A = this chain, B = another copy of it.
Amino acid sequence: MAPPMHPALEPLSFLLGTWSGTGHGAYPTIEPFDYLETATFGHAGKPFLAYAQRTTAPDGAPMHVETGYWRPVRPGWVELVVAHPTGVAELAEGSLQGQRLELRTTSVSLTPTAKEVTVLERDLEVVGDVLRYELRMAAVGEPLAFHLAAELHRQPAEG
């Protein structure tokens, strides 16, 4: 049986559950692309959200995944720890106002073979049962630029 939610998670509880929808990606070094995404936010009774997402091409071919934790460290402020399978470890922090988050890189670290990423900016907002986010990125020598935007819809809880 799931443990009760930690009270410190209340400000982020609007994220709990599974979200699915579509997104669009672009970057100066690649062709623009569309994708399908499913993201889940869960908890285990502790003061953080467990996060995982996966994207696929419209034909179902796997694209990106990432996984990590969202930490509400004080009122209106959230820290993020995300592992990317590309060899990138992302740390970010930023403001939480209502159901809107603006998270900015505090540290991006890379394994020896990872592609260079230096900055990630994540804006995320939930309105009703719709989650929209935009991600901007500085990577592979390019300045900060638009990379991803998606609109996800809250999925019914499982039986």
A residues engaging B (CB < 8 A)? Answer: 3, 44-46, 48, 50, 52, 54, 62, 65, 67-69, 71, 73, 79-85, 87-91, 93, 106-107, 109-113
Q: Which of B50, B85, B89 is within 8 Å of A89, CB to CB?
A: B89
Asked whether B50 lies within 8 Å of A85 as measured between CB atoms, the reply is: yes
A-side interface mostly? strand
What are the residues of chain B within 8 A of A54 when measuring CB–CB?
44
In the complex, the 5 A-B pairs of residues with the closest C-beta atoms, listed nearest first = A89-B89, A68-B83, A69-B85, A83-B83, A79-B111
Asked whether A89 lies within 8 Å of B83 as measured between CB atoms, the reply is: yes
Asked whether B93 lies within 8 Å of A88 as measured between CB atoms, the reply is: no
A77 CB to closest chain B CB, in angstroms?
9
Given A44-B62, A90-B89, check contact A84 B69 (CB 8 Å): yes
